[in-house]
Amino acid sequence: MSRTGSCLCGAVTFEADALPSLQACHCRTCRKWSGGPFMAVPCKSADFKGEIKRFSVSKRADRGFCPTCGTHLFFYSKPGDMYGVPAGLFDEDPESVLRAEYFIDEKPENYCFAEDTKKLTGAEFRAKFG
Ligand SMILES: [Zn+2]
Ligand SMILES: [Zn+2]
């Protein structure tokens, strides 16, 4: 489903082909990047307009942000050719509930979600998504 959104300052806008899902990643990289669990809507494609800064944290993935306001724009999985776009960036909140939690073995003890989710460890995530 085509959905639109923007960064905090509005310099970057996007249109994404979003799946009806909401996922959270608890891995250390995502938590360092997001300041907490990374809540993302998986998107088959995402077309960003405006200047973005893109960097690689591993061979498997890129992450992007707005160089003006610093809003995190996407996680891009190279093997999956999929974007994870932060749920808060969309013009309308995604209606889907939290369905999956990744890297559950890296989740700290100080929070947990109430939704009944499919939970994958880091090893299970890598085996499934590469
Ligand atoms: Zn911005
Ligand atoms: Zn992660």
Ligand nearest to the CA of 122: 2
Ligand nearest to the CA of 26: 2
Distance between Cα 129 and ligand 2 center (Å): 12
Whole-number Å distance between alpha carbons of 18 and 83: 9
11 falls in which pLDDT band (50, 70, 90)? very high
Ligand nearest to the CA of 101: 2
Question: Does 97 or 71 have the greater pLDDT score?
Answer: 71
Distance between Cα 100 and ligand 2 center (Å): 12
Distance between Cα 37 and ligand 1 center (Å): 21
Distance between Cα 84 and ligand 2 center (Å): 10
* Two tokens, residue 5: 């959104």
Q: What pLDDT digit, counting tens, does each position of 21-65 carry?
A: 999 999 999 999 999 999 999 999 999 999 999 999 888 899 999
Ligand nearest to the CA of 53: 1
Q: What pLDDT digit, counting tens, does each position of 71-95 carry?
A: 999 999 998 899 999 999 999 987 7
User: At CA 44, angle to CA 84 and CA 31, rounded to 5?
Assistant: 10
Ligand nearest to the CA of 72: 1
Ligand nearest to the CA of 66: 1
What pLDDT was estimated at residue 70?
A: 97
Domain covering 2-129, topology: 2.170.150
Question: DSSP letter string over 85-122?
Answer: EEGGGBSS---SPEEEEE-GGG--TT----S--EEE-H
